[in-house]
Amino acid sequence: MEFSAEQIAGILHGEVVGDPNALVAGLAKIEEGQPGTLSFLSNPKYEEYIYTTNSSICIVNKTFTPNKPLPATLTLVKVEDAYSCFAKLLEVYSQMSKKQPKIETPSFISENAQIGEDLYLGAFAYIGENAKIGNNVSIYPNVYIGENVEIGNGCVIHPGASIYAECKIGNNCIIHAGVVIGADGFGFAPDQNGEYQKVPQIGNVILEDNVEVGSNSAIDRATMGSTIIRKGVKIDNLCQIAHNVEIGKNTAMAAQVGIAGSAKIGENVMIGGQAGISGHLNIADGTRIVAQSGIPSSVKKAATLMGSPGIPLEDYKKSYFGFRKLPFILTKLNELDKKLKELTKE
C-alpha cells in the first residue's frame, strides 16, 4: 500500500517541503531508513540521522530548521507535533489493513448467538450460546467466545484468546493473542484436614470501552460480582489481574505486573514491569509504581513509589545510596571498635 507525500500531508494537515509525489510503502526508524520508507523526527538527539537517512519521506515539527544540507532524495512533511502525527498515521494504516468482513470455515457460531454487521471470523473460532457480537468486530482464528459473552463494536480479538462465559467487553477493545478473560479466580479454603476446597467463582469480568490487553495476560472472574477494568486501561503482556480487582480509568501497567484479589487501583496510575500489588488494598489516583516494586498496603495519596515495600522514590534513592556504602561503613565501624578496645585497655 503506497502513500504520497501529498496524501500524508493531507491526512496530517501538514506542509510538504520537497517532492509532493514522493512515494512510500513502508515505515522505518530514521537511522535505518531505506528508499520507499517513511520516518519521523521529534527528538533532537536523533537529528544527526536526518542528514544521512535514505528514507524517502520524513515527518518533522514545523519548528525544524536543517543545520546541514538534507539528502536530495528526502521530502519533508512539516506538522505541529511529529510524534503524535506519526502515531495518527500508524492508526490510519492499521485501520486500512484491518481484516475484511468474512466468516471462514471451519468455525462455529451458536444458532442463538447475535452477530453484528461486518464480522470477520477466523477459522476454528467458536462463538457460544446467547453471545452478542457488535458491529465491525474482528475475531481471529482459534478464539473461544463463551456463552452469554457480550462484545461491543469495533473490537479486535487476536488468535488463541479465550473469553469465558458471562464476560462483557466494551467498544473498541483490543485483546491480544493468548489472553484469558474470565478464568476462575484463585479461591480455595482449607478444611479441617488442611486440604484445599475450591470456592466456586460465579462472577464475571467487565472490560469497559477502549481497553487493550497484551498477549498472554489473564484477568480472572470475580468470586461474586465483577472484576472491572475501566475505560481506557492499557495492560501489557503477561500480566495477572486477580478476582474482584477494579482498575480505574486510563491506568497503564507494563509486563509481568501482578495484582492480587480485591485490590482497587485508581485512575491514571502507572505501574512498572514486574511490580506486585497485594490484595484488598486501594491505590490512589495518579500513583506511579516503579518496576519490580512491591506494594503491601494501601496508598492514600498519589506518590512515586519504589522498592519492596514501596516507599517514596526520593527516600528510596537515599536509602539505596546508604546501602551501597554499607561495606565501607562496616569497615569503618570495625576500625573504630578496635581503637575503642585499645583505648579501653590503656
Q: Which residues are catalytic?
A: 243
- Whole-angstrom distance, CA of residue 304 vs CA of residue 106: 51
Cα–Cα distances (Å) from 191 to 120, 195, 198, 264, in that order, read 48, 5, 10, 29
Query: Which set of grid coordinates corresponds to residue 53?
Result: 537517512
Which string of DSSP letters, residue by residue, matches 230-290? -TT-EE-TT-EE-TT-EE-TT-EE-TT-EE-TT-EE-TT-EE-TT-EE-SS-EE-TT-EE-
Query: Which set of grid coordinates corresponds to residue 281?
Result: 488494598
Max CA pair span of the chain: 98
Query: Which set of grid coordinates corresponds to residue 267?
Result: 485512575
Nearest Cα neighbor of 220 from 189, 250, 254, 180 is: 180
Nearest Cα neighbor of 220 from 252, 260, 181 is: 181
Torsion angle, CA of 328/330/331/333, rounded to 10 degrees?
120
- Whole-angstrom distance, CA of residue 214 vs CA of residue 226: 20
- Whole-angstrom distance, CA of residue 250 vs CA of residue 233: 5
Nearest Cα neighbor of 77 from 5, 22, 21 is: 5
Q: Are strands 37-41 and 246-247 parallel, antiparallel or unpaired?
A: unpaired
E strand or H helix at 24, and its extent?
strand 23-24
Q: List the alpha helices (DSSP H) in 26-108.
A: 82-96
